[in-house]
Structure formats: structure tokens, C-alpha cells
Amino acid sequence: MKALVLKDIYMMLKYCRSFFMIIAVFTLISIFTENNLFFAMYPCLFVSLIPNSLLAYDERSKWEIYASTMPVTRAQMVSAKYIVGLMMQGITLIVSSIALVVRSLRFGESVIQSAALIGAMIPLMLLTTALGLPVMFRFGVEKGRIFYYVLVGLLAALAGGSSFFITGETGEILKNTAFAIMPALVLLPIVINALSWYLSCVFYKKREFN
């Protein structure tokens, strides 16, 4: 398992540098942009694409066929993608949280608003991975790409549209409601992510490669 995770990390560092640049640019823009939370939310959404890209490189290089000769299970191969994804999501969440704190200091925003945004980032990241990866493992990257792009587009639109509601009076109601149900907002995506991992393992074990 450790070797699989390291393999994915090495691949990510070599082939996913553009992801890091885009995340860094959007994070910096979010610090200097007022009343538009899209730039703050998008990095947390975009980082969830990394496991998909790693899976695409595996399929392109026929890694699955080579791995079948090694003492690793397909469940471990699936788990490696989820672990690397969670690692990058955690790092992005920390960086985005720091950016939000700096942004709140620049524009005099309340700590409650920043905390609500950070809380919203967690289910956004987890749900993106949870809903997208099982499709990729079931149908492959090429067939599952369309579904995933539609999913990312919808979540991006949701993240961008939320910025118009969270800053006004409606935003105060939404933030108060979010705090009231915060445990459910965090717990539900975790449960869905666990179910997603299980389904991905089941789907991947049934895949045939040639």
C-alpha cells in the first residue's frame, strides 16, 4: 500500500504541476477579491481532479496489467487513489483556510463567515471525489470523463452562485443554518466517501483489462 501511495505521489509531482499552479493562482486571487467567494472555493473543487488524472495516466500506461503481476490487490490500488486525494485535499484546505483568514483581515469580514466557508469546503471536496471516482473505476476514465466534467461544472456553478447569497442578509440566515447542521454537513460526506470507496473497490475488481 505504501509503495502504491508513493508511486501516485511521484506521478502527481511530475504530471500534475499545472494543478498546483492553478490552485496557487486562484488562492492568491481570493485574498484580494471581495464579495466573490468563487476564487476561494474553486481550489478545493479543482484539487479533487488529481485522483482522476492519476487514474488516467495509469490507464494510458497499462499500469493495471503490470500491477496484476505484483502482490497488490485492486482494493489497494483503489485505496491509494483515495489516500492521495485526501492528502491533497487536506493540504489545499489548510492553504485555503489561511487565505480566508488573510482575506477576512483585509476586508474586515467576520470570523463566523470565514469559519462557515471553511466548513463548506470540506463537503465540497469530499463529495466531488465520492461521486466521481466510482464512475471512473467502473467505466474507465474516457467513458467516465463526461459525467465527471458535468459534476464539476455543477459544483463549480454552485460554489460561484453561493457567493451572491452568503454576503447579504440571506447569507446570515444560511450561515446560521449551516452552523446548526454543521455536524451533519461534515459527517454525511464522510459516510458517502466511505460508500464511494467500497463501490469503487467492487467496480474495479470486476473490470477486465486487455
- DSSP codes, the chain: -HHHHHHHHHHHHHH-HHHHHHHHHHHHHHHH--S--HHHHHHHHHGGGHHHHHHHHHHHTTHHHHHTTSS--HHHHHHHHHHHHHHHHHHHHHHHHHHHHHHHHHHT--HHHHHHHHHHHHHHHHHHHHHHHHHHHHH-HHHHHHHHHHHHHHHHHHHHHHTTTSSSHHHHHHHHHHHHTHHHHHHHHHHHHHHHHHHHHHHHHH----
Average pLDDT estimate for 28-38: 78
Locate 73 and state its grid cell.
490487490
pLDDT in tens, 142-201: 777 777 677 767 766 665 555 555 555 444 555 555 555 556 666 788 888 999 999 999
List CB contacts of 55: < 8 A, sequence separation 6 or more: 81, 133, 136, 137, 141
Within 10 A of 61 (CB to CB), how many other CB atoms are there? Answer: 11
pLDDT in tens, 85-141: 999 999 999 998 888 888 888 877 776 777 777 777 888 788 888 888 898 898 888
Give the pLDDT confidence score for residue 170 in this predicted structure. Answer: 47
Per-domain residue ranges of the chain:
2-206
Within 10 A of 96 (CB to CB), how many other CB atoms are there? Answer: 25
Give the pLDDT confidence score for residue 125 in this predicted structure. Answer: 84
Burial tier of 72 (Cβ tally within 10 Å: 0-12, 13-18, 19+): middle
pTM of the predicted model, to two decimals?
0.82
